Chain A
Amino acid sequence: MDRVSVAGGAAIALLGALLLLDQTDVLELRFAWAAPAVLAAVGVVLLAAGLDGPRKR
């Protein structure tokens, strides 16, 4: 299992779901929520990649 892909993929899918809910008027996203959501998704990918260490050669 590639933890970076799993964690990053889950974070990106959740971010996409949040944006989809806004675009379908299920919820009204504001910057107060959107900015942390984007940064959290980016942070999850970065954190997972950082914890995973260097690429195996």
Chain B
Amino acid sequence: MKTIPPPCPVPETGPKYWRSLDQLAETPEFRQWAEREFPAGASELTDPFTRRTFVKLMSASFLLAGFGLSGCRKPEEKIYPFSKMPENYVHGQPKYFATARPTRNSAVPLLAKSSDGRPTKLEGNPGHPDSNGSTDAFTQASILNLYDPDRAIRFAQNGNTVDAETALVALQKIASEAKDGTGLCILAEQSSSPSRARLQAALKDKLPQSKWFVHEPVDFDIHREAATRAFGQSVTPYFKLDEASVIVSLDCDFIGSEEDAYINIRRFAKGRKLERPDSSMSRLYSVEPLMTLTGMNADHRLRIPASGVIAIGALLAQEIAGQSDGDLAKAIASLADDKTVGALNDQLKPSDSKSERKWSPDFIKKWAVECAKDLLANRGRSIVLAGYRQPLAVHLLAHALNAALGNIGNTVVFHAAPEPEKGRGIADLAKALTDGEVETLVILGGNPAYTAPADLKWSEAQGKARKNVVRLGYYEDESFPAKGLSLPQAHFLESWGDARTSDGTVVSIQPLIEPLFGGLTDLEVLATLAGFEKTKTAPYDIVRETFKSLGGGGEEAWKQYLHDGFLADSAAKPVTVRLNGSNVASALASAEPVVVPAKDKLEVVFHRDYSVDDGRFNNNGWMQELPDPVTKLTWENVILLSQKTAEDLGLNIVNYENNQLKVPWVQVELDGRTVEGPAWIQPGQADNVIGLALGYGREKTGRVGLNSGYDAGKLRTTKALHCASGAKLKSTGVKHMLSITQDHGSMEGRPIIREATLEEFRKNADFARKMDMEKPPGMVDGSAMKSLYPNPFDEAKKTAHHQWGMSIDLNSCVGCSACMVACQSENNVPIVGKYQVANNREMHWLRLDRYYTGEVEDPQVITQPMLCQHCEAAPCENVCPVNATSHDQEGLNVMTYNRCVGTRYCSNNCPYKVRRFNFFDYNRRTLEQLKGPVYTTPLLHKTEGEWDLARWWRDPDRGTKPTDEWELLKLVKNPDVTVRMRGVMEKCSFCLQRIEGAKIAQKVKAGASGDVTVPEGTIKTACQQACPAEAIVFGNVADPESRVSVLKKQERNYSVLDFLNTKPRTTYLARVRNPNPAMPDAYTRPWSTEEFIKHNENPSEEGGGHAEPAGAEKKGAA
């Protein structure tokens, strides 16, 4: 410790000098003289009643009064000094740590931001070899789970709280009594952790008779299983979508619900980036029963029941691989018999004769043949994918196709993957439990009582363990053992661990915070069970030990590993494989026949929800409020139907767009089991198919997830986990209210999202700008119109160092919604609950607009991220009576929350409607209190036994949230962003806090050099940072070299609502579709463009204002 020397006192020793003899004598005369003559006003210092003294006293009392008054406005915050200061710690300066979020069989490498010791934001780790620093919505939201007040916070035995020590002793006792492990069964979730694998092996050594079971309600292991079957080798596939020119998805939602979708999005978007008109882009064919994100982005989409997908695969295979192998050809031919294909084809026939352009008696066949031709033309540069919901046969077909097309080793590579033991699924465990073979059941994570197939009756089975049930769980949920031991699980940000990403790279998981509630990790529990010494069960030691075998024992290597967040060069090496034709043929031969559904024999498709996954994000408010990227519904799941099916079943489902979305509550019956839920029409869904999203309708969940949706899992059986047929649906006569964030699905021919085909783009590169409306006179060449009120910003911007702008590539954006959650996390955006969403009061600063074009049976779907456009001539600014929204000299439209009184005029005048208003104190009210229509008023309400008004008086910040909720939720807030109060307007700030942070850092760095311009790439907005497709680019538009400037110079660049002359700083790059002209459903123009032309050919506009020459040119080109 460095000791700071005490301040030097006036030396007492040494010679004393005197000015005169008087001074020496200290006579009163001298003193008086010195005071009068010397330092001016010195006498006042000794006079107690001078003006100066008076002012001093008064200012002190004012200050005191101020202290007293400040109690009314801000709570007092005591800052305690560190008793031991951490090294390099600067108060208020966030730190970043590399870690990872483990997923089912993979992980998301992360850089986690820690603000004064609490994690506040997760970002992808751009250093990771298979990452561009992006993440998915789940990862962005997972930080909220850390601060979930409803998570398991206690150790419990038989439902009673016990202390951690007792619980651990009980666990040790189980371990010591386990002998050889007979009767000990462990049910775990999937994991890619090398440490867990090591402990699993150690456990097997210690307790050889113990049994290990794995359960995942949404299981992606079929990819590995199929690859292993197809190639006769233990391998798992890895898809390089960026290297494919033609992608065929057989019900594979690789953009949305497949594992590691964010990697797929990155690669897919890379293959579709258009820098110039002569750039090439990939083409996506999608065959699917439900409308998925992948289908939304497809150039050609074929809707077909899930069970019929195999027939399309077989049709493709007939064209491509049919001749290669006798057995295989026969198996394939049997799958694509004319009768089945004909029946499927008939399903597509629209009831409405006017839209029959997409149908012919052999439409499906033609579709498949042309698709196959396209694949054949792109041998080695194509890819066929099968989705996890499809049976093994479809996967094998896909592998056979890839093999035949020479894609293996090019667009599809295989990594070695260990094969799990057979017969270790949850069904086997349930049977063992029922047979009484299980003495001790250890459940490591997951929620089997909710997620296990309904036929297993897990809740009952779980209680049949003869001795003990030990459950490590993140929540005290449905699987909470009434009898047995319950251990709280640690969040991944609280625990040590490791994992492998899908490319095989080992990533480290390191804690950013001590476990908030003393939770344990599965590693600790396993180590205890495996009889590790008490000192060796710490997860850190386990992970450190594992690392020795992975990256050597050196301390430097370990530090490097933790610093980087991954082990360099640990990615798996591709394995050379050869298709085992006979395996494929035999599997195809025994494939389930296609069951063409009918209206009284509906097909049910269970799908992983885009918001709550399989239910693990059920209590996460950000995800609950995140609109489903396809349906735009929030807070619950629905029973998805096609329009025709709804009509056939006599259901009247209409969105009257009148804020009262009342839909029929229907009952679905499948094999004697029933569930009830609200029915909803999804355009583009296959007829006679119903889509049920998993993860909702939880019986025991936290205060967020309570009463959200219905439990589709009640219909799921071991045999039909993903698809089932023979369901019946009937209306119950009850109506149910839904909350949707976008009522209107059509763009009404307005050029908001502008599209063209690739062909058109090549001929007519600036097609997007030709859709501009006629500009008011005076700004035709982009020159600014003479304004009545010259914008002061026009002068200021000449001297500013930066001019911020954004470019959003609609051709890359797939609509995954990661940006929305990233923004919510970064900017402290509150959630408002189902009923406030129904009142159109959701607070998302960034939203994804989703439009349908074309017929409801088979629409084209387009999405557009919409956020504050930061208009240079912002309409919101001049109408604000109190100057609360104004421009800074760097072109940002900034909100002064302190100044806002909430007239909401700015929102009315914003043509993009991107401003959000705090109608209530959303941050400080509970969801229950936001329900309406009668809201609790603090004048009459009590919280925790305290009158709300008194509570507010004591601490205005606390609101009416219960203390436990409040204390945790305030930890998740970004300290750099104000938490807005009620009555204040808010909106996207382009992550102003990040901009300012970078500017300050640059100023410090520049020092005397004066180079304060922030270098390109330093600032990434939260949405940009999270975007896997790199669709959002933010930067300095004053720098012509910056990426954003380059993008804005592209031909596809356009502004939304250009004619209003708002001069937005956010511009869009028009979307390009890549249809195959030979396809039976080919189109020469995207349907949104068709709609636009239709609206603009209206004869009433001939010679009118906006029928500009572009329209004529377009007609000429067509």
Mutual binders A and B: no
